[in-house]
């Protein structure tokens, strides 16, 4: 399979232009600055994935917010200055949010033509504005589709969006992923695309009981629960029984080997097979470990999963650079920050 060249070792800028309760100018101006992009480049990373919510870019009635685009413009400029690339990830669109804290209908977008038109219109604006820099900016259509029942509807929406974007951005990379929160097991469900600049994406937080230990937003997760990595798959499965099977992830799938590179390789096999058959790049847009985990375990986990990414040429972006309960720069010891970043 081909690789997503230029987007092999990255980090997410979550919490800046997406998933933030603070929508003040001060937050947008200061949460991420050019100094952060320079530091990311100094870590040896080659790109940033920039989640952005529609609320930054348009009013509820669809009227564009000109000032919102200035932050994306700045990020493009900073990335160019410091020699890294950028993925513009539409994290939430009008009518759809993956966020479990947003108590909204997770399927209406996929059956409502008016909501889909809003989505296409926003992407046409983004493509017209940033499609002239295909060497610098890639586009990710929408973050984490949840419900399996909308898989085929999403495929048709994605294909339509790709066609709309191509009018304005014929050479830009376009990335899209599948259902079940972009689970790697959903990659084989994605539509085949006759376009050499399209890549499939997935997210990987396996074992979720480890990467989300103590997470307040995970139903059934005790706030004081802790577990190390590596551990036995039996222990991970036993601990995962406190969560719903949907939340627990793929830890209960079939005859998985003990955790380590072979564990991730087994999980990724269906995606690798379809990517090889279709000669399409794979990209892991999110993977990471909550800050409540111990640092040795974080580094062990990152080392194992990235060994498999490297073996198969899978580009990736760690979640997260700053805050959002996963921030690399929130690790107090900068030596540990750099040790972790070196694994990515």
CB contact at 8 A, 205 and 287: yes
Per-residue pLDDT, averaged over 136-145, amounts to 97
Residue 303's pLDDT is: 98
Residue 304's pLDDT is: 98
Catalytic residue list contains 286: yes
Q: What is the DSSP letter of 191?
A: P
Give how far Cα 38 sits from Cα of 21, 32, 66, 216, Å: 26, 11, 26, 32
Residue 301 and residue 288: Cα distance in Å, rounded?
9
Residue 230's pLDDT is: 98
Per-residue pLDDT, averaged over 26-50, amounts to 98
- Residues 266-313 have pLDDT tens digits of 999 999 999 999 999 999 999 999 999 999 999 999 999 999 999 999
Q: Where are the beta strands (DSSP E) in the chain?
A: 10-12, 47-53, 85-92, 137-140, 174-177, 198-203, 282-286, 315-318
Residue 129 and residue 64: Cα distance in Å, rounded?
13
Options 58, 144, 192, 277, the catalytic residue: 144
Residue 136 reports pLDDT greater than 80: yes
Catalytic residue list contains 144: yes
Q: Which of 168, 99, 74 is nearest to 130 (CA)?
A: 168
Per-residue pLDDT, averaged over 40-50, amounts to 97
CB contact at 8 A, 257 and 251: no
Residue 202's pLDDT is: 98
| Maximum separation of any 2 CA atoms in the chain, in Å | 53
Residue 86 reports pLDDT greater than 90: yes
How sure is the predictor about 245, in pLDDT bands with cuts at 50, 70 and 90? confident
* Token reading at 249: 């992830």
What is the rounded average pLDDT for all residues in the chain?
96
How sure is the predictor about 128, in pLDDT bands with cuts at 50, 70 and 90? very high
How sure is the predictor about 19, in pLDDT bands with cuts at 50, 70 and 90? very high
Residue 234 reports pLDDT greater than 90: yes
CB contact at 8 A, 217 and 100: yes
- How would you class 30 by CB atoms within 10 Å of its CB: exposed for 0-12, middle for 13-18, buried for 19 or more? exposed
Give how far Cα 125 sits from Cα of 16, 86, 100, 129, Å: 21, 17, 28, 6
Per-residue pLDDT, averaged over 98-111, amounts to 86
Per-residue pLDDT, averaged over 24-33, amounts to 98
CB contact at 8 A, 73 and 50: no
Give how far Cα 184 sits from Cα of 163, 270, 287, 323, Å: 25, 8, 11, 25
């Amino acid at each position: 399979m081909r690789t997503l060249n230029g987007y092999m070792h990255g980090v997410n800028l979550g919490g800046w232009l997406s998933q933030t309760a603070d929508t003040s100018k001060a937050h947008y101006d200061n949460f991420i600055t050019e100094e952060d992009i320079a530091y990311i480049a100094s870590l040896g990373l080659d790109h940033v994935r920039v989640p952005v919510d529609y609320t930054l870019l348009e009013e509820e009635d669809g009227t564009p917010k000109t000032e919102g685009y200035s932050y994306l413009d700045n990020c493009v400029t900073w990335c160019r200055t410091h020699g890294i690339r950028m993925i513009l990830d539409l994290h939430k669109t009008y009518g759809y949010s993956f966020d479990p804290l947003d108590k909204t209908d997770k399927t209406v977008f996929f059956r409502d033509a008016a909501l889909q038109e809003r989505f296409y219109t926003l992407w046409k604006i983004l493509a017209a504005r940033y499609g002239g820099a295909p060497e610098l900016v890639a586009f990710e259509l929408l973050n984490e589709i949840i419900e399996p029942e909308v898989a085929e509807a999403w495929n048709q929406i994605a294909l339509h969006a790709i066609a709309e974007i191509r009018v304005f951005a014929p050479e830009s990379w376009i990335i899209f992923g599948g259902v079940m929160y972009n689970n790697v097991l959903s990659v084989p469900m994605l539509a085949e695309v006759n376009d050499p600049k399209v890549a499939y994406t997935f997210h990987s937080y396996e074992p979720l009981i480890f990467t989300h230990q103590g997470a307040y937003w995970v139903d059934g997760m005790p706030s004081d629960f802790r577990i190390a990595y590596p551990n036995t798959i039996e222990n991970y499965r036993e601990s995962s029984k406190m969560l719903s099977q949907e939340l627990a992830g793929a830890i209960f799938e079939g005859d998985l080997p003990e955790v380590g590179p072979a564990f991730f390789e087994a999980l990724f096999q269906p995606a690798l097979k379809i990517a090889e058959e279709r000669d399409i790049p794979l990209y892991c847009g999110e993977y990471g470990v909550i800050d409540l985990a111990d640092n040795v375990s974080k580094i062990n986990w990152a080392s194992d999963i990235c060994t498999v990414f490297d073996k198969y040429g899978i580009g990736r972006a760690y979640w997260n650079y700053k805050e959002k309960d996963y921030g690399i720069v929130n690790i107090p010891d900068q030596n540990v920050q750099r040790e972790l970043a070196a694994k990515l």
